[in-house]
Amino acid sequence: MIKLDIPTLEQISAGLIKVQARQGRLYPYPQDLQLGYDRVVLAFLVGGKALDVPDSIPKFYELCEQPFSEWGVEIDDEIDSSDSLLFLGEPTELTIELAEAFGGSVLSQEQTKIAAELLQHCQSHTQGVQIYTKFRRFIIEHPVLSNQEFVKAKGDFGLGVGLSDLLDNCYEPVPSCYELEGNFHACPYCHALAGVNPQRQVIANSSCNRCPPGRRLKRKVKLPSDCLKLKRGIERFWFYPGRAEIQLYQKLVDLGLEVELYPECDRYDLRITFADGEVWALDLKDYFNPYLLVRNLGDEPIPSEPSWDVAYIVIPAERKKDRPAYLKELKSRWRWENVKPIFDDAVFALAKKKAGVRERDVQASEAGVKSDTPPTNSKQSDTNTKGDTRSTNSKTLEEESTKRDKSPTKNKGRKT
């Protein structure tokens, strides 16, 4: 039996995303789906399972709803056999990530275009940084809007700002397939639109990490009949990762830290400046598959400007629930020395401890008591050379946090 490699799965995923963009209409078959299907057929034939091969693309499309363990072929080791590419006809998180790696899916292209327009507008505006942050935060905090709320938002982002048309490109009417007995509902955890299963039950959104996708929601939020939802690309690449960004930002601000959200129009997500002058750069990445996260980071995971002393790629701690070995798997492919991966709860603990240590130093100094560990400036004299060093204190804190985050051997990931 031969193994289906990552490039084959990426091509299949790109084709499935194109089908989803056409509201599930298969024919004419997207070329990527056709070529991916041909490679799957070849795998069946070479593996001596000619009788088990899906005899058409529609049959193969149905097979994509099943976990890979049901396909009858081997899958690349970086993909969990319990995962699937479709869930109730919708591309899973894994599918979106695979398609993105293939060269940009329809969803990532949708988000990239809007992001480019927003950035271009803000760069030419005197209050560009503030406008950028306000717009991104609005999207993150409003996955669903009533028509009245949408009209008001267009007014707020229109007069004096000029982003009314861009807001149009972020939202769309809710498709009727989400309707149950004349009503739409939202997830009580992520507040995004909830789905409806074939048994006519309101179910958890496939991208919400709080509970397994497809599980019936006992609690739900009733929405108005004229509501609009974020387009899938904006939802996937702005809303879901953005929730973790805003939550971490608020927690750090509540510590009394100086925190900048989306510095210089989103060069990275959060920039923390501590009392001793040390600067941390945080960029949150919410990926279902840790190996695909590494593949998509590029040569410079966090830009060198605005400058920083310590940098982290931050993963929502919710990912540990489904994949306890997530960080271990991520580190097994990590290749950057000046940027480290960490969960958001762990980086918050580090920031809290560092802020607490510095606060005690300041209090001791004000009381005229000599501190055992006098504050030192960990920055290099050349602030343009960043990411090369970090303070001994930060290293020690990170090592302690890493010990806490160590997880058992790989657990099977859930189907999403």
Q: Please say if the pLDDT value at position 148 is more than 90.
A: yes
Strands 339-343 and 310-315: parallel
Q: DSSP 3-state assignment of 144? A: strand
The pLDDT value recorded for residue 412 is 36
For residue 414, being part of any structural domain is answered with no
Q: In the prediction, which pLDDT does 385 show?
A: 42
Residues 291, 383, single domain; the answer is yes
Q: Which of the four pLDDT bands, split at 50, 70 and 90, describes residue 408?
A: very low
CB 83 within 8 A of CB 291: no
Nearest in space to 4 (alpha carbons), one of 49, 56, 59: 49
94 and 160 both lie in a single domain: no
Residue 1 confidence (pLDDT): 57
Q: What is the pLDDT of residues 236-281, one digit of tens each?
A: 889 988 888 999 999 999 999 999 999 998 899 999 999 999 999 9
Q: Which of the listed residues 74, 104, 134 is the one where a domain comes to its end? A: 104
Residue 23 burial by CB count (10 A; 0-12/13-18/19+): exposed, middle or buried? exposed
164 with 98, same domain: the answer is: no
> Residue 17 pLDDT more than 80?
yes
Residue 32, in any domain of the structure = yes
Residue 360 lies in a domain: yes
Task: Please provide the average confidence, as pLDDT, over all residues in the chain.
Answer: 82
Asked if residue 85 and residue 114 are part of one domain, the reply reads no
Give the model's pLDDT for residue 3.
77
Within a 10 A sphere around the Cβ of 5, how many other Cβ atoms? 15
Residue 182 phi/psi, 5-degree rounding, is 80, 5
**Token digits for 93?**
């998180």
SS3 254: helix
Closest of 128, 98, 85 to residue 7, by C-alpha: 98
How many structural domains is the chain composed of?
A: 3
Is 332 part of a structural domain of the chain?
Answer: yes
Residues 53, 28 share a domain = yes
Shared domain check, 400 and 260: yes
- In this structure, the answer to whether residues 80 and 222 fall within a common structural domain is no
Rounded to whole angstroms, how far apart are CA atoms 314 and 331? 13
CA atoms within 13 A on the CB side of 371: 15
Which of 57, 76, 104 delimits the end of a domain? 104
320 domain-assigned: yes
Please indicate, yes or no, whether the overall pTM of this predicted structure exceeds 0.85.
no
**Which residues lie below 8 Å from residue 405, measured CB to CB, with a gap of 6+?**
327, 342, 343, 346
pLDDT at 391: 45
On whether both 86 and 35 belong to a single domain, the answer is: yes
Flag whether 393 is in a domain: yes
Q: In terms of domains, do 186 and 259 share one?
A: no
The reported pLDDT for the residue numbered 60 is 95
**CA–CA gap between residue 85 and residue 415 (Å, rounded):** 9
Q: What percent of the chain has pLDDT over 90?
A: 45
Same domain, 155 and 191: yes
Which residues, in sequence order, are CB contacts of 370 under 8 Å at separation 6+? 364
Is residue 266 within 8 A of residue 132, CB to CB? The reply is yes
Same domain, 193 and 298: no
pLDDT, position 383: 41
Phi, psi of 222 (to 5 degrees): -75, 135
Residue 180 lies in a domain: yes
Tell me which of 69 and 369 has the higher pLDDT.
69
Q: What is the mean pLDDT of residues 94-105?
A: 82
- Look up residue 175 and give its two tokens: 């498709």
- Domain range for 294: 255-405
Same-domain status, 31 and 156 = no
Residues 343 and 325: beta-carbon distance below 8 Å: no
Strands (E), 50-159: 74-75, 86-87, 90-91, 144-145
**Interval 213-234 mean pLDDT:** 86
pLDDT digits (tens, 9 = 90+) for 20-60: 888 778 889 999 999 999 999 988 888 788 788 898 999 99
Answer yes or no: is 416 within a domain.
no
Last residue of a domain, one of 69, 104, 139: 104
Alpha helices in 124-239 (DSSP H): 128-141, 147-156, 164-168, 232-234
